[in-house]
Structure 1
């Protein structure tokens, strides 16, 4: 896989280059900021981009803005955004770009996940294959924020667990292994979740759940809330 990295930390950037190369992937470019990102993408034609949320010069939202800009310019390009902390608003903005048949997959992970090399590389490869992967902490906070929503109240504890696992990008088989149940049981839970969240069941089940999370986030009771404190 051809990968482009945009990360200001030299240590993390070089670490990502080495672990991805060691895993058999090609890093076509490793940038310290997003200034020349568009040109680098056009020149190297990567199959996946990894970006830090906060990049120079202001270290606020340059990375997420660059990711959204890339999504508009190249909607089929898979993106993985790394963040030091859970930033729900940014995660929601990214998830909101997954609609449509030409939209590539996205991932939003905390930088701590990079330390688990096997899981991180697996997440990268799943995103490249079309999965949308959210960090468990992001999923947990999104669900916790919407605890009072009537639609989520309809879910059983087991269905909430399945919903969170789906939003983390896990396959039905992986969820079945996690919960020590059959895949058929997982499929029944997923069908029930979609019904209770008033969603149609289709082949893009993972994205449907992510879309549901975004919808719930955008219809929160207090419209003045915009995300977690940073």
Structure 2
């Protein structure tokens, strides 16, 4: 994979570059700002993915999200993996709201787990969306108000949490030691209970995950 990295912290940039290179990735650029990244992306037609810090100068708030949106509008098939030091589910919801394909959100703690990092990059390059399991776990375990999600059984919530991590039905079945048809039945029930009817245009799986994230957004801002 051909990867570009943008992070204003030199130590993080160099660490990511080394880890990715040792894992067989080609880091074509490691820059400190979105402005320096733009010409790299425009000049490299074979770039597979970009790793973006969520908070960068000048405001250190959501520059990474703005960069992700700009890249997505110009390069819809480019993989974008946003790294955050903060456990904030509303950032993940905002990132995936409009264009979840080819997009991921991981906590920076995952950087030390190079296998997780590289797997996430591979998945976003092929069009999947990836959400950090820690965010998924936090949303799953916190008390919830009465919403459509409250209709789900414990098993259905478990399946939905794995869907939120970007896992396929096959992977969910293997993890939970269930048959493929059983998982498919759970997914159908989830869609029905979340009022997501079949549609030729909408990705119901993504919509279900977004519903799940949005329910945790207010809690993530506290």
TM-score (norm 2): 0.87
How many equivalent pairs are there? Answer: 219
* Equivalent in the alignment of 1:16: 16
Root mean square deviation, CA, Å: 2.3
* Equivalent in the alignment of 2:42: 42
| Structure 2 contact 54–64 (Cα < 8 Å) conserved | yes
Q: CA deviation at 1:125?
A: 0.8
The yes-or-no answer on 1:195 pairing with 2:192 is yes
Partner Cα distance (1:98, 1:144) in 2: 27
Q: What are the Cα deviations for residues 201-224 of structure 1, in whole angstroms up to 9, with x where unaligned?
A: 579454232233356468xxxxxx
| Structure 1 contact 79–105 (Cα < 8 Å) conserved | yes
Change (3 A) 1:206 1:28: farther
- Where in structure 1 are there 5+ consecutive unaligned residues? 219-224
- Where in structure 2 are there 5+ consecutive unaligned residues? none
Partner Cα distance (1:226, 1:49) in 2: 29
* Equivalent in the alignment of 1:80: 81
The yes-or-no answer on 1:137 pairing with 2:130 is no
Q: CA deviation at 1:94?
A: 0.9
Q: CA deviation at 1:24?
A: 2.0
Equivalent position SS for 2:34:
coil
Change (3 A) 1:131 1:175: same
* Equivalent in the alignment of 2:210: 211
Change (3 A) 1:73 1:183: same
Q: What are the Cα deviations for residues 74-114 of structure 1, in whole angstroms up to 9, with x where unaligned?
A: 22322110000112232111111226xxxx42100101111
| Structure 1 contact 4–49 (Cα < 8 Å) conserved | yes
Q: What are the Cα deviations for residues 167-222 of structure 1, in whole angstroms up to 9, with x where unaligned?
A: 0111222211211112221111111111111113579454232233356468xxxx
Equivalent position SS for 1:36:
helix
Moved segments of 4+, more than 6 Å: none
Change (3 A) 1:133 1:202: farther
| Structure 1 contact 29–44 (Cα < 8 Å) conserved | no
The yes-or-no answer on 1:30 pairing with 2:27 is no
* Equivalent in the alignment of 1:156: 153
| Structure 1 contact 191–201 (Cα < 8 Å) conserved | no
Change (3 A) 1:59 1:150: closer
**For structure 1, which segment, 5-14 or 135-144, has the greater mean C-alpha deviation from structure 2 after superposition?**
135-144
Of 151, 163, 184, 2:181 maps to 184
TM-score (norm 1): 0.85
Equivalent position SS for 2:35:
coil
Change (3 A) 1:132 1:27: same
